[in-house]
Structure 1
Amino acid sequence: MAPRTSPAPAPLADRFGRVHTDLRISLTDRCNLRCTYCMPAQGLDWLPKPELLTDDELLRLAGIAVRRLGIRTLRLTGGEPLLRRGLPGLVERLAELGAELSLTTNGVGLARLAPELKRAGLHRANVSLDTLRPERYAALTRRDRLADVLAGLAAARDAGLRPVKVNAVPVRGVNDDELVELVEFAVRGGYRMRFIESMPLDAQGTWDRAAMVTAEEVLAVLGGRWRLTPVGRHGNAPAEEWRLDGTEHVVGVIASVTRPFCGGCDRVRLTADGQLRNCLFATAESDLRALLRSGADDAGIEAAWRACVAGKGPGHRIGEAGFERPARSMSAIGG
């Protein structure tokens, strides 16, 4: 007799028919950088430890997501996720769920942890890097840690966390003169370069669309150096990709503002304090932590999760009349 298998979970769908298979999990709201486009120099009021999900709570929610809701990819974010105490052990436990497991980091502590994270079951890493110039990096992040990030990138590549993606947010008059330089760096190092349009998610509330370098501008600059062949978009991935002719390398552009991809969004977010967000720009959250700590069973948590996703709107509405910024900044939501 063939072994019995569990039935596939019902799709985690919203009212527009979008099926959600990607969960972004914020491990902490804390960060060891103070990037000027993200937070003030003095930092923010961090969440008190009792409000954060414990490892066991996080594992339980991730298990419900994978086994009952059809989540296939888990992305660990922050804040800076490498600041989470005992991260390799947590990664090892998450890897047992069988979902693809990745990490988004500023790379400062990656050189030390990359081999251990790979052994624990991490598949790949995304590293934020907006400039290759030490003085500019120190001015942007208010920390002199560029050498650590470059070492972290190399360690992630050498550990087999592939592809290692390098994420840069170009800002007009700040680092927009480094677009070609960043791509050339990625080609030399065997990384995959991606440029992301800046979004109104800074804690200071000073985002200026005029300072945002658009996807079209990025492609125009790169097109002056390489002939770009469209690769398209892989499934519901946020990045549109182009191959650099004459090479095997591709560059991605995430045009969150000027070419939003909300119609194909398959992502849902869990904050470090256990709040479920059905959109990066959601103005409401579902409190899964309260359900956990009140003794709710898995079915009850699943029902709350499905209700939250069912209420997702059609898109983020940046630039439209009535657009409302979320109360939390990016570092508190999780990228």
Structure 2
Amino acid sequence: MEQLIDPFGRKIDYLRISVTDRCNYRCVYCMPLEGVPFKDMSEILTYEEIVLFAKAAYDLGVRKIKLTGGEPLVRKHIYRLIKMLKDIGYSDISLTTNGSLLKYYAQLLKESGLNRVTVSLDTLDKDKFRSITRLGNLDDVMSGFDELDKAGFTNTKINSVIMRTYNIECIENLLNFAISRNYEIRFIEYMPTDFNENFKENFVSIDEIKSIIKNKHSLRQTSYKTNGPSQYCEIENTRVGFITPLSHNFCAFCNRIRLSSDGNLILCLGHDIKINFKDVLKQKDLLQIKELLKKSITKKPKQHQLLTTNIHQSFSNIGG
């Protein structure tokens, strides 16, 4: 079997697919207050085009898919896409969501074959939640967690971006919530973008987050590993992950590529390199898609440049 190996010997086996750039939230770390112009639907990949790209990637050794957005659940009939990806042979398909629509779709997602769900949740305080998401309602998200459990999802994960002036005091409550529900929780460092004018004052390193946790908990080291960049510890049999794109970058172990909602292959969040696959996907030539994918991997950079430059697009455009 052919495999995607980049110039630095890293095996690429993980594909993140942004199915839409649209979102019903305006989270402070994702996009500016006024939002961003959404692309016309004619610019967005069809499900058939996404599946064609996923088939090419599968033939080249990719085995895991993460569906993202924007907010992926605002894309109509996403459960159909999941079934189509399963039919290719993918056995590990997950989805990251803000959780606001899970109360409507959790059961359908389970029936479609989705393996697990990650929910972005940065606070359990309703006022802070509104401040961070700008448009969100915490009750909707909490109902979504209930529906995930009812649908039979296990290994549910929480992603929490910690920002000094927004939610640093929420770490303990988030941790206790994850423990009470037997969810995995991952704390993520705030990342610099062109619209984060207050990045420096809000950045909190993972080392500081660990220190806060250690004030009340004992962090046990674990050998547990996932497909992603998290480094894990355990508290009361709950896995706690730490994602450190800035303070301790994990570029040496990067195994992923990203497909944007409009058909661009993104090789690294911290670089502006992108390769347009929209045109070749319209031709529906699987061999041609695979050849372009193999050629594109040779351009994957050794590491990001986030210590010296910002991410120039909103995460809603590139899937985070």
| TM bucket normalised to smaller | over 0.9
Amino acid of the structure 1 residue aligned with 2:313: R
The two structures, once aligned, show a CA RMSD in angstroms of 1.5
**Which blocks of at least 5 consecutive residues in structure 1 are unaligned?**
1-7
Which of 212, 215, 228 matches 1:221? 212
Amino acid of the structure 2 residue aligned with 1:298: L
Which of 17, 36, 47 matches 1:25? 17
Whether 1:270 aligns to 2:259 is yes
Amino acid of the structure 1 residue aligned with 2:302: P
- Partner SS for 1:156: helix
Which of 273, 280, 286 matches 1:298? 286
Deviation of 1:52 (Å): 0.4
Distance 1:235 1:193, change over 3 A: closer
Percent identity between the two aligned chains: 35
Deviation of 1:36 (Å): 1.9
Distance 1:239 1:307, change over 3 A: same
Matches within 5 A, 1:4-23: 8=1, 10-23=2-15
Q: Distance in 2 between matches of 1:102 and 1:55?
A: 16
Q: Distance in 2 between matches of 1:235 and 1:178?
A: 25
- Relative to structure 2, which stretch is displaced further, 218-227 or 229-238? 229-238
Which of 192, 196, 204 matches 2:184? 192
Q: Does the aligned pair in 1 maintain the 2:270–2:306 contact within 8 Å?
A: no
Q: Distance in 2 between matches of 1:262 and 1:218?
A: 21
Give me the TM-score of the superposition, normalised by structure 2: 0.96
Q: Distance in 1 between matches of 2:311 and 2:170?
A: 31
Q: What residue is the counterpart of 2:199 in the other structure?
A: 208
Q: Does the aligned pair in 1 maintain the 2:263–2:278 contact within 8 Å?
A: yes
- Partner SS for 1:312: coil
Deviation of 1:186 (Å): 0.7
Which of 255, 263, 271 matches 1:282? 271
Deviations 1:91-143 (A, max 9, x none): 11112222210000000001110111011010001000001001111111112
Matches within 5 A, 1:1-335: 8=1, 10-66=2-58, 68-99=59-90, 100-201=92-193, 204-206=195-197, 208-232=199-223, 234=225, 236-244=227-235, 247-293=236-282, 295=283, 297-319=285-307, 323-335=308-320
Deviation of 1:235 (Å): 5.3
Q: Distance in 2 between matches of 1:167 and 1:101?
A: 17
Distance 1:141 1:97, change over 3 A: same
Q: Does the aligned pair in 2 maintain the 1:236–1:264 contact within 8 Å?
A: no
- Relative to structure 2, which stretch is displaced further, 305-314 or 76-85? 305-314
Q: Does the aligned pair in 2 maintain the 1:172–1:213 contact within 8 Å?
A: yes
Q: Does the aligned pair in 2 maintain the 1:233–1:239 contact within 8 Å?
A: no
Deviation of 1:23 (Å): 0.1
**Which blocks of at least 5 consecutive residues in structure 2 are unaligned?**
none
Aligned length: 319
Q: Computing the radius of gyration over CA atoms, which structure comes out larger, 1 or 2?
A: 1
Amino acid of the structure 2 residue aligned with 1:307: K
Q: Does the aligned pair in 1 maintain the 2:99–2:145 contact within 8 Å?
A: yes
Q: Distance in 1 between matches of 2:311 and 2:163?
A: 22
Amino acid of the structure 2 residue aligned with 1:139: S
Q: Does the aligned pair in 2 maintain the 1:200–1:207 contact within 8 Å?
A: no
Deviation of 1:205 (Å): 4.3
Q: Distance in 2 between matches of 1:136 and 1:287?
A: 39
- Partner SS for 1:158: helix
Distance 1:232 1:211, change over 3 A: farther
Q: Distance in 2 between matches of 1:296 and 1:62?
A: 12
Q: Does the aligned pair in 2 maintain the 1:82–1:109 contact within 8 Å?
A: yes
Q: Does the aligned pair in 2 maintain the 1:75–1:101 contact within 8 Å?
A: yes
